[in-house]
Amino acid sequence: MNTFKQSAIEILRKSGKPLHYNEITRLALESGILETEGATPEATMGAQLIMDIKNKGDGSDFIKTAPGTFNINLNKKVIKETPKIIEAEKEEEQKIVIEGGYIGKGGEHLVCSEMLFRGFNASIMSVDVGVDISAIKENKFFGIQVKTARKNNSEIYNFHIRRKSFERFNQGNIFYILVLRDGLKNNFLILPASEVEKKINEGGIFSVNDKTGYALSIKFRDGKFYLGNKDHEMGYFLDNWNLIK
């Protein structure tokens, strides 16, 4: 998985021009080169780039060209990374991991409680083996994979599915539940594994990271949710818990 700074380097090199950190983040998430479950990826990106310049000065990979706008540092100098710089970078990376952990686990508990209210004997798996929640209803077993994201500044929710995990758990009783968090409001996009496979074949979900994963972008436009573009309107799957049967 690429870090925020690695993703920024790749995006800026492809662009060939300075970009605002919001745009860097959007392009990195939509292209699938950046994976994060953090609540505010744009803010994290901006903070990471600013801290890199502050800690490394002329030895940073980045330069700031305008407020919130960055480019590749073509005159980067070789510097010795001191213990202070290394420790600062570790602290920033740890913050990202912790934030993502809170968001991911919070989404799992939201889904688990919703399923309990709907009569499923549901529980969160103690070990992540590709299924986050196991559920039973009317003697039928269901495996639930939960993905959680907050709406970004472009009103897009970005998700990532690992290819190996999907191929391993691609059966009729497996469901992907995407938690769409907007402030304190939550919506749930409930996708059978067969629907995920269908959207992969149709191009609504595309391969990323050298085909080791899949990127899903849920866009909110004109009061509706779309997968990737307006060819894939997802209203039928929104909060449709009756699909799990």
The pTM (predicted TM-score) of the whole model is 0.70
Res. 120: pLDDT tops 80:
yes
Residue 36 CB contacts under 8 Å (≥ 6 apart), including other chains: 4, 29, 44, 96, 100
Task: Kindly report which listed range (45-49, 62-66, 232-236) carries the lowest average pLDDT score.
Answer: 45-49
Structural domains of the chain ordered from first start:
4-79 (1.10.10), 103-243 (3.40.1350.10)
Instruction: Compute the average pLDDT of residues 81-96.
Output: 64
Instruction: Compute the average pLDDT of residues 212-222.
Output: 86
Q: How confident is the model at residue 1, as a pLDDT? A: 44
CA dihedral (233, 149, 186, 162) positive or negative: positive
Instruction: Compute the average pLDDT of residues 1-8.
Output: 78
Q: How confident is the model at residue 93, as a pLDDT? A: 62
pLDDT tens digits for range 133-167: 999 999 999 999 999 988 877 788 888 888 888 88
Q: How confident is the model at residue 189, as a pLDDT? A: 96
Q: How confident is the model at residue 66, as a pLDDT? A: 93
Using the 8-state DSSP alphabet, how is residue 41 labeled?
H
CA dihedral (31, 37, 39, 40) positive or negative: negative
Task: Kindly report which listed range (43-57, 95-109, 218-232) carries the lowest average pLDDT score.
Answer: 95-109
Task: Decide: helix, strand or coil at residue 243.
Answer: helix
- Mind giving me the DSSP string for 57-111? GGGSSEEEEETTEEEE-TTPPP----HHHHHHHHHHHHHHHHHHHHHHHHHHHHH
